[in-house]
């Protein structure tokens, strides 16, 4: 935990300085970053991310949901394992929408947090 955590996405606050975020919000932002970054997107870390966005147009199915659960869990453990412990990660396919729910515990504070994101295929 640092004295000042940078808000994501990067922005400037009302004072013209880099916007900051509370520690728990900063970690939540990093969870979203891991989920929404596609492997190969980052030049210096080509294996960073889990490919959630790559699967948005794949059509939702129970098999896709199970695959995403495994890849997202592995990515969060690899990239944020020193900051949090994932209690549960569930992906549900509901017609043309995938819902991802991550429940985790912040290592530094012991605080339980939950993040839910949804994305549709537009079908």
Global pTM reads 0.80
Mean pLDDT value across residues 30-37 = 90
Least confident of 3-7, 19-23, 42-46: 3-7
Over residues 82-107, mean pLDDT: 88
Cβ-in-10-Å burial (0-12, 13-18, 19+) of 48 comes to middle
Is residue 98 within a helix (H) or strand (E), and if so which, with residue range? strand 97-106
Give the mean pLDDT of 24-44.
Answer: 90
- Measured CA to CA in angstroms, residue 101 lies from 16, 21, 61 at distances of 34, 22, 16
More confident residue, 119 or 100: 100
> Is the dihedral angle over the CA atoms 103, 105, 106, 111 positive or is it negative?
positive
At 58 the pLDDT is: 65
């Amino acid at each position: 935990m640092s004295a000042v955590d940078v808000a994501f996405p990067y922005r400037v606050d009302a004072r013209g300085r880099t916007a900051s975020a509370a520690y728990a919000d900063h970690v939540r932002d990093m969870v979203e970053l891991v989920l929404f970054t596609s492997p190969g997107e980052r030049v210096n870390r080509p294996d960073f991310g889990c490919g959630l966005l790559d699967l948005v147009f794949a059509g939702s199915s129970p098999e896709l949901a199970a695959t995403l659960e495994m890849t997202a869990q592995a990515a969060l453990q690899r990239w944020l394992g020193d900051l949090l412990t994932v209690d549960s990660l569930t992906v549900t396919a509901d017609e043309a929408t995938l819902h991802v729910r991550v429940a985790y515990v912040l290592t530094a504070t012991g605080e339980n947090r939950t993040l839910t994101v949804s994305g549709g295929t537009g079908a």
